[in-house]
Amino acid sequence: MFQLTPHTRIRRSPYFDATVAAGVAGFTTYNYMLLPSGYGDPEGEYWRLRNGVSMWDVAAQRQVEMRGPDAGRLARILAPRDLSRCRAGQGKYVALCNHAGTIINDPIALKLDDDRYWLSIAASNILFWARAIAAERGLDVEVTEPDVSPLAVQGPKAAEVIAAMFGDWTRELKHFHFRRADLGGIAMILARSGWSKQGGFEIYLMDGARGAQLWNMVAEAGRPWGIAAGAPNAVERIESGLLSWGGDTDDATNPFEVRLGQFVDLDFAGADETVGIDALRRIRRHGPARHQLGVILDGDAPAPPHPVWYDIEAGGRKVGDMTCGVWSYRLSSNIGFALIARQIAPGARVEVVRDGRRIGATLTELPFS
Ligand code: THG
């Protein structure tokens, strides 16, 4: 195998030393930062997330802060979703699009105050995008990347760990809502969110010098529930149908193709100035060309990692792509997502072309379970 060559351009998270001490086995990069990808026991990490509780360094989910009199207006220009009833302390999942209606990121928008928003971004450069749009529209807003680094606590036992740390009020926190909750003199925000469907929280550390301290506090608080280090889990997220922007999308994917239409509003007050709104209205009128389904491959041996898209064929011609794939420990099958011609329906039989071989497969609705 080969190694990732260090470079100062590829940043370390505030939790870097703690993850190394915890035995991190691999990293990927995300927003120009190292993102741990596992600790050497993929199946154990999966079951801990499903049955217990896991802690993840997700500092690479960087924040784009928009601050100033036009912060709300910039949020509205960037996000085709009605945020007018979003309160301070509330977040919403949004599909940022370019002028063609192509998704360029799928962040959580957090409203901290009327004049202060964060976009908690997936891996694309929204700092540059937001600054460019703000300047072109002549807005009075400052766009920065603050010193904020999320640490996720995910799994059915996450609520116990978080209540032990922060108190019982956290049990009532609604999904995507958040509150300032400093602990041990460390500035942080606690949110109910996270990139799994097993329930959980994200602690947004607001002081990069205190990463090891926060990591150790969570590890200590979680000990009674068997907490251990993990990472955003590909198996769980595919079973649960969560989108990975940039992995499951290409340079022509619009929100309606990948099941994000439910998070897109087209006719709210001020929508006419939102980037991409005309294209999105047109796409909704005509219907998207592709849609996203689950795919279950025939055979019962775990497939190798899935570093590229695989062609999906039906009747001998290409009808779409398999954009991700994993061995599902629960379904005992290789499963993944298909981005495929809209005419092809769930239940259809197709062939996935992997390394020159054709593998029979069945399409299904998402999520798998
Ligand atoms: N947490 C934070 N920042 C993030 C992510 C996160 N930035 C990058 C990436 N993840 C953004 N993408 C997603 C994708 C899906 C969800 C959250 C962020 C998600 N979706 C649920 C769903 O689709 O079922 C719920 C959506 C809803 O009901 O509104 O949770 O994880 N800080």
Report the percent of the chain where pLDDT is more than 90: 96
What pLDDT band is residue 14 in, cutting at 50, 70 and 90? very high
Q: Are 253 and 105 in contact (CB under 8 A)?
A: no
Does ligand 1 have an atom closer than 6 angstroms to the CB of 35?
no
Q: How large is the average pLDDT for residues 202-230?
A: 98
The reported pLDDT for the residue numbered 306 is: 86
Quick check: CB of 31 below 6 Å from ligand 1? no
Give the whole-angstrom CA distance, residue 37 versus residue 291. Answer: 28
Give the C-alpha separation, 336 to 106, whole Å. 20
Query: Is the C-beta atom of 242 inside 6 A of ligand 1?
Result: yes
Band (305; pLDDT cuts 50, 70, 90): confident
- With CA atoms as reference, report the closest residue to 56 among 202, 273, 224, 216: 202
Instruction: Using the mean position of ligand 1's atoms as its centre, give its distance from the Cα of residue 131 in Å.
Output: 23
Nearest one of 28, 26, 61, 22 to 218, comparing CA atoms:
22
Best residue among 62, 174, 195 to mutate for probing ligand 1's pocket (most ligand atoms within 8 Å of CB) is 195
- Burial (Cβ within 10 Å: 0-12, 13-18, ≥19) of residue 12: middle
How much distance in Å is there from the Cα of 37 to the middle of ligand 1? 18
- The pLDDT confidence band at residue 369, using thresholds 50, 70 and 90, is confident
Q: Is the CB of 130 under 6 A from ligand 1?
A: no
Ligand 1: nearest atom to the Cα of 122: 8
Which of 242, 245, 264 should be mutated for ligand 1, with most atoms under 8 A from CB? 242
For helices 211-222 and 158-166, the axis angle rounded to 10 degrees is 120
Q: Has residue 117 got a pLDDT over 90?
A: yes
State which H helix or E strand residue 188 sits in: strand 188-191
Is residue 276 within 8 A of residue 264, CB to CB? The reply is no
Task: For residue 88, report the phi and psi dihedrals to the nearest 5 degrees.
Answer: -60, 130
Tell me the pTM.
0.97
pLDDT on residue 154 = 99
- The string of pLDDT tens digits covering residues 246-279 is 999 999 999 999 999 999 999 999 999 999 999 9
Q: Map 136-169 to HEC letters.
A: HCCCCCEEECCCCEEEEEECCCHHHHHHHHHCHH
Q: What is the pLDDT of residue 300?
A: 82
Pairing between β-strand 200-205 and β-strand 149-154 as defined by DSSP bridges: antiparallel
- C-alpha span between 299 and 7 (Å, rounded): 42
Evaluate: CB of 195 within 6 angstroms of ligand 1. Answer: yes
Average pLDDT value over all residues in the chain: 97
Q: Which atom of ligand 1 is nearest to the CA of 240?
A: 24
